[in-house]
A = this chain, B = another copy of it.
Amino acid sequence: MQTWTVRPIGFVRSPFTETHQVPRGLGAKHDEEGVLEILPEFEPGLRDIESFSHLFVLWLFDRSEGFSLEGTPPCDTKSHGVFATRSPRRPNPIALTVVRLLRHENNRLHVRGVDMLDGTPILDIKPYLSSIPESELKRGWLAQAEARRAKENTK
Contact = CB atoms under 8 A, between A and B. Distances in A.
Contact of A47 (B2, B44, B51, B84): B84
A60 B8 CA distance: 16
Contacts of A5: 3-6
A100 interface: no
A86 B127 contact: yes
Interface string A65-102: 00001100001111111111110001110101010000
A48 interface: yes
B26 A81 contact: no
Contact of A1 (B4, B7, B80): B7
Interface string A17-38: 0000000001100000000001
Interface centre among A49, A62, A75, A83 (most CB of B within 10 A): A83
B92 A69 contact: no
In the assembly, how many copies of this chain are there? 2
A2 B6 contact: no
Interface residues of A, number: 62
Contacts of A48: 80-81, 84
A3 B96 CA distance: 18
A62 to B, nearest CB: 8
Contacts of A27: 146
Contacts of A58: 58, 92, 94, 96
